[in-house]
Chain A
Amino acid sequence: EDQVTQSPEALRLQEGESSSLNCSYTVSGLRGLFWYRQDPGKGPEFLFTLYSAGEEKEKERLKATLTKKESFLHITAPKPEDSATYLCAVQATGATNKLIFGTGTLLAVQP
């Protein structure tokens, strides 16, 4: 069964304290891995798509990497405005276009 697990469930950082969020996945074949940011009461905001192991993408203080079993979202020198829930989702090869989401990591960055 295709599955996505994110860790930690929650993370509290001081402003400027870099860290990484983990997304482990089990799929029959990976078509794409997606990272989204979700603020309370809002829909997910697209951050990155990764397609193959070894691929990396960056946007401001965020960098996403991908291996054959997991993806990391690295946050460098975070600011309070980076506080949000970060969601990871995978799309498996096959007949469907379904996104399978993890339960997310709730990030709180304190000033």
Chain B
Amino acid sequence: GAVVSQHPSRVICKSGTSVKIECRSLDFQATTMFWYRQFPKKSLMLMATSNEGSKATYEQGVEKDKFLINHASLTLSTLTVTSAHPEDSSFYICSASTGLRAWETQYFGPGTRLLVL
């Protein structure tokens, strides 16, 4: 149980375009989902916390107008990287919490590798 999927697994886009990444909890309802970014040989950095039906909470230094997050249902959250630039190239990973309490164990998706040319 507690399976989280992401789509696409890999995407290459041109500079200036927008890219949407989907995160789905497949076998449970996730009140809270999280979006992380990971650079090579670095740890995961939380970008934002997304609660179903409400606005996402962004971490300090993360541009909310650039990284649009929508959590439309209890099983789906999306991250849209708007007007992507090469410096946005990274590994984006989502996670979902199984319980009503968001601080319970988070289960992670397989990640999305974004390359902006």
Contact = CB atoms under 8 A, between A and B. Distances in A.
A103 B43 contact: yes
B43 A91 contact: no
Interface string B74-97: 000000000000000001010101
B102 A44 contact: no
A49 B105 contact: yes
Interface size band for A: 20 to 34
B113 A91 contact: no
Given A42-B111, A101-B43, A102-B43, A32 B103 contact: yes
Given A43-B93, A87-B43, A99 B108 contact: no
A101 B113 contact: no
Given A87-B43, A98-B49, A36 B108 contact: yes
Interface in A22-42: 31-32, 34, 36, 41-42
A104 interface: yes
